[in-house]
Chain A
């Protein structure tokens, strides 16, 4: 077992579970545990929660290029604690990992960064909000203007973002249940970002506009032992409705989601309210995954096909997963992002 691999095991809940790293998914070992009914406070909760084992700041964006092509991009900062709390210097127990990617209709560029806390190489400040690792940065007011930058061997992007709606709390006021056994996380989003900026790609720079979605989540025991991965959808429909839906695959599938009205009003979708059915599978740049889905939320009259913009949007990071932009057709039209983990 390599140190980095071990770090990644800590950072990737499904990997933990899939690797049979028993105990980590369920036992909290001195870490804080999400509790139902705890009210989230902003801007404080935009910052890091070092007493929880894992946490992430996760941004995905669907973009229209000035060249007429569709693009998608991802910016993620993960935090994982070897033990609760923070400490100055190299011996900090906080490990940070950044993932960034750009997806085009026929290519996918990604890169990964690792750092530890305590020395200032990576971290998150709540107010004014700033999340960074190396030269990558997401900063500004999640309810106002923000900036986003990242770079890899094959791309650089710089985006300006403007919030057009409120923060959305998932589950029970931000307490999001992840299994029937009761595993849960704190989970909120900012799905109403308008973006504009530039992608520097190997074929040259391209100006883009579009919409972005930030997910914030932290927990110490996110998955139950038998859960091996998930399929997660964040969709922006043409009528300005947002849909967050996921299926956790385990001995028994567990679904959950949020129906977000254009004004930000959120309605939780209970286990079983969402039906996801793979339609077409592909194995491009990685193992076979469903790249076209049939997604139904009967209670909302949603019955759509969700298709990947580029089937090969595999994150070629230490632990590979699929993350890429999708288009929505059927009862509703729109665009969004799909994340698939735990496929081998």
Chain B
């Protein structure tokens, strides 16, 4: 019986292969985009984790000389002989194929186990002799290893995926030789498990300062905003994909109802039937899930290089551009596919399970149901209100997300009633029988299309919201760069002595040479950087102040007041007029607050002499040089030659800005690609909804046809209706998208990162998106339309046919 029933049941798909394809594709799309985003996020995060673990770099406190100079082995020994458990690190830059890579040499004997070395050693059976004695070994990832392999002047390279891109890891002995810095140590890692009775640092090495472990939070917090965007897109695509699944499953069971009735009349128990159905859905979900994973992998692989470039450039996060398959990813992807399919089918299955054996084929109510619509509107508004109340009561990131979720979900629920309201308006404006019919008919189509339209609404709103945020960020950041990077170029000297020489050399040759000197002060839980500046017009004219007292610059330059960055202002509630404690015993009045995007730490600006009064030893090695742009390149070249400066010592402002902007273009590329993908999925949802409605549409269209409309005329009207509904949805999506953008810029950003971004509006983008929405709906409606045009009259006539 089971076999017969299964065969009968599944024969449906043989007769409707397109429907089967749609269902599997819907599951695949949902799983695919979701998985792609998961893969991208996981890959990027794994890269940060690798980078952090590789050095243990940020896990441990560091010791370095206050003056920034390298340490000697003697200083290392002094600490060791006093019981301090430290590991020496020598770090430097190596030119490889025209790009600079960071080479980190760690004392592999004293340092704790490094995962990169451990794993590579396991794979390649490396002997300690080879790693620790000349020529030594370099550890690098595959790309870099290939480039390094061509260099006969370098030690052999061991390839390991655990070293971040553009980094080389090696023993300190090898690093000395490669970097030609014998006897130098860049900094010391303070290891765990220090012995009892260790003398304080000030007693044995007063020249050294201890820098607290930075943790990986910096990168994580910054990049979280990026991942947040991606995740929002992924989740949205998943939901939109589920709309497709919902539609198709509904259709397939609608069409199989007579069969199900017959099977049950023949004595097949409902329970067995449900098991058959569930098995079918499960198999389809797994099939779709597997295809989706493949799809997701491809999308991720295609997008990841750009994502990685964005993360590297924007946040300095060491992300890699290739995807690796993680078992957890595969499992969770399939899990999402199955769970999503079941969720999307729940309503259909529930209805089916309650279907009486002899129920007539679905009878549909055509009059609009004002009460149901009103209820849905009320529920939608209630959800929005819940979000607002949550945000009002609670605070912080979670509350921000609750508000965002409430707005999106509530708005989606309120969409069909809102559209119905618009249609009432349209009805009043409609002139002529056809127009009246079209409007009335759209209203009856609403329930069937509402899920797809909600999907479209969410896709459009997300596009507007995320697009506005990214574009606002870019515009703000661009402007901010212009304000902050006012010098024509920046130069860094080796040490204070060279710094003085540089300043002397530059003084007669440029308009201004502005020293950039700062001290890092760890007072509370986070580090504070205090910058000392000398008075210059470029500060007064360009510095991006977001709040300031009158005569702010005069007061700062005469040492009466300080400027602080926005992060610090928001975190500590310090605004002009407040008093800020910069260091123990050093308090100043805040005269202004400036925006400081991308910086997780606190920052303050005071007059240089005030800084030197408290910290006389701050290095004097960095300068901003002002001169006419046409002379900049030439002078920088002369400067490099005169002082034999390394390539990274002179940074041109133009290049810096161009680089920053290039990074944003990458971000846009990724955002844009995801935009198109989500819209595509929403379009697919519309298509499947229209196909689902197809069998219900004929009884609605046939009478009109019989009364004197051509099939092609009806087909065009069908297209018009779909496009009109999409247009109305798009109109409603604009305000929702702007609310979303505002939430992201002014609520989520502040809660997550401590800075608020001004919101810029891009109406032209909305017009483009509006057109894209219409296009999406038109493409989705094109297939049903063509089908209607070519429909044989006999099919339409069947509607009227007597059954006897």
Contacts and interface: CB of A to CB of B under 8 A. Distances in A.
Contact residues on A (Cβ < 8 Å of other chain), bracket: 20 to 34
A153 B182 CA distance: 33
B195 interface: yes
B195 A7 contact: no
B724 interface: no
Nearest to A121: B80
A151 B80 contact: no
A154 B109 contact: no
B322 interface: no
A4 B113 contact: yes
Interface in B308-357: none
Contacts of B197: 151, 156, 200
Interface in A59-88: 82-83, 87
A55 to B, nearest CB: 17
A42 interface: no
- Residue among B117, B129, B196 with max Cβ neighbours from chain A (10 Å): B196
A86 to B, nearest CB: 12
B578 interface: no
Contacts of A155: 196
A344 interface: no
A272 B686 CA distance: 91
Interface stretch (A44-52, A90-98, A170-178, A331-339): A90-98
B196 A154 contact: yes
Given A1-B125, A89-B173, A95 B83 contact: no
B126 interface: yes
Contacts of A39: none
Contacts of B193: 111, 152-153
B286 interface: no
Interface residues of B, number: 41
B393 interface: no
Given A89-B173, A156-B196, A200-B197, A135 B133 contact: no
Contact of A153 (B77, B82, B122, B195): B195
Contacts of B136: 91
Contacts of B283: none
Nearest to B196: A156
Interface string A254-281: 0000000000000000000000000000
Interface string B127-147: 111011110100000000000
B113 A82 contact: no
Given A90-B173, A135-B81, A7 B128 contact: yes
Given A115-B110, A116-B109, A91 B173 contact: yes
Contacts of A89: 173, 176, 182-183
Contact of B83 (A3, A7, A135): A135
B596 interface: no
Given A135-B83, A153-B196, A156-B195, A90 B176 contact: yes
A95 B183 CA distance: 19
Contacts of B117: 2-3
A87 B109 CA distance: 16
Given A91-B173, A135-B81, A2 B109 contact: no
Nearest to A137: B81
Contacts of A121: 76-77, 80-81
A10 interface: yes
A135 B133 CA distance: 25
Interface in B107-165: 107-110, 113, 117-118, 121-122, 125-129, 131-134, 136
Given A7-B128, A93-B133, A151-B83, A114 B109 contact: yes
A114 B131 CA distance: 16
B195 A82 contact: no
Given A82-B133, A156-B196, A3 B125 contact: no
B383 to A, nearest CB: 54
B172 interface: yes
A119 interface: yes
Contacts of A20: none
Contact of A119 (B77, B108, B118): B77
Contacts of B108: 3-4
A290 B128 CA distance: 34
Contacts of A7: 109, 128
B171 A6 contact: no
A43 interface: no
Nearest to A119: B73
A92 B171 CA distance: 12
Contacts of A151: 83, 195-198
Contacts of B183: 89
Contact of A1 (B109, B126, B134): B126
A120 interface: yes
A134 B128 contact: no
Interface string B180-222: 0011000000000111111000000000000000000000000
B786 to A, nearest CB: 66
A6 B128 contact: yes
B343 to A, nearest CB: 47
Interface of A: 1-4, 6-7, 10, 82-83, 87, 89-93, 95, 111, 114-116, 119-121, 132, 134-135, 151-156, 200
Given A119-B77, A135-B80, A135-B83, 15 more contacts: A1-B122, A2-B118, A82-B127, A89-B176, A90-B173, A91-B132, A93-B129, A93-B132, A111-B193, A132-B81, A151-B196, A153-B194, A155-B196, A156-B195, A156-B196
26 contacts: A3-B109, A3-B117, A3-B126, A3-B132, A4-B109, A4-B113, A6-B127, A6-B128, A7-B128, A10-B128, A82-B129, A83-B129, A89-B173, A90-B176, A91-B132, A91-B134, A93-B129, A95-B128, A95-B132, A115-B110, A119-B76, A121-B80, A135-B82, A154-B196, A156-B196, A200-B197
Interface of B: 73, 76-77, 80-83, 85, 107-110, 113, 117-118, 121-122, 125-129, 131-134, 136, 171-174, 176-177, 182-183, 193-198
